[in-house]
A = this chain, B = another copy of it.
Amino acid sequence: MDLAESFLQDKGFNGFSYAHIAAELGVRNAAIHYHFPSKEELVCAVIQRYRDRFQLWINNSRVKNLSPLEKLDWFFSIYTDARADNGKVCLAGSLETEFNSLPGSLREQTEALTHELLAWLQATLQEGREAGVFQFNGDPADKAALILSSLQGGLQMARALGTDKFHTVVEQHKQDLLASA
């Protein structure tokens, strides 16, 4: 599952195969089919684990007790780390790109994951604005969608333009949010 998750973020759903995983593990193709009969089930389990992990993180007191700005930095660091790890891409972004060729169960998982990421980011933005540390106009839900879409797109853009481009995007978001009126 670790390898499947890594390949998903690196090559996308249609870009990796049982053979890739088997080669890394030093086993045969069929051995993986024993644990995950179909590719759909394998990836479904990977996304579910990813979702569970995120819920664990945000409900953990270590994150829960952070200030809004620290929470945002923590969230950004997920993407920065992914980028640093061989130019990987957000799992949600990778799946959305291939959404039109995904089996039904994976579409649902992708939707659910994206909703969960957005919901947390929206709540954090709202909390920060009410606390007076974030400044922005409009609905926190819309600002959350803007930031998440930019993080996903930014990781992809960084593949063509280099890691620096992603860091400037993250910094620009912070400037936008922290700018005093």
Q: Which residues does A use to contact B, with CB under 8 Å?
A: 10-12, 14-15, 87, 89, 92-101, 107, 110-111, 114-115, 118, 136-139, 141-143, 145-154, 156-157, 159-161, 165, 168-169, 171-173, 175-176, 179, 181
Which of B93, B107, B160 is within 8 Å of A156, CB to CB? B93
Which of B92, B138, B159, B179 is within 8 Å of A96, CB to CB? B159
Number of copies: 2
Residues in chain B near residue A159, CB distance under 8 A: 96, 99-100
Task: Provide 26 A-B residue pairs closer than 8 Å at the C-beta atoms, listed in order of the A residue.
Answer: A12-B14, A14-B14, A89-B97, A93-B153, A93-B157, A94-B97, A96-B156, A97-B156, A110-B160, A111-B160, A114-B160, A118-B161, A137-B176, A141-B168, A142-B169, A145-B154, A145-B161, A146-B150, A146-B154, A146-B173, A146-B176, A149-B156, A149-B169, A152-B156, A152-B157, A153-B154
Query: A19 → chain B, closest Cβ, in Å?
Result: 15
Whether A138 pairs with B175 at a CB distance below 8 angstroms is: yes
Whether A12 contacts B98 in the complex (CB less than 8 A), given A149-B150, A149-B153, comes out as yes
Residues in chain B near residue A153, CB distance under 8 A: 93, 148-154, 156
Residues in chain B near residue A137, CB distance under 8 A: 175-176, 179
Whether A161 pairs with B111 at a CB distance below 8 angstroms is: yes
Query: A155 → chain B, closest Cβ, in Å?
Result: 8
Of chain B, the residue at the smallest CB distance from A88 is: B100
Of chain B, the residue at the smallest CB distance from A111 is: B160
Closest 9 CB pairs of A and B: A153-B153, A149-B153, A150-B150, A152-B153, A149-B154, A96-B156, A99-B159, A142-B172, A97-B97
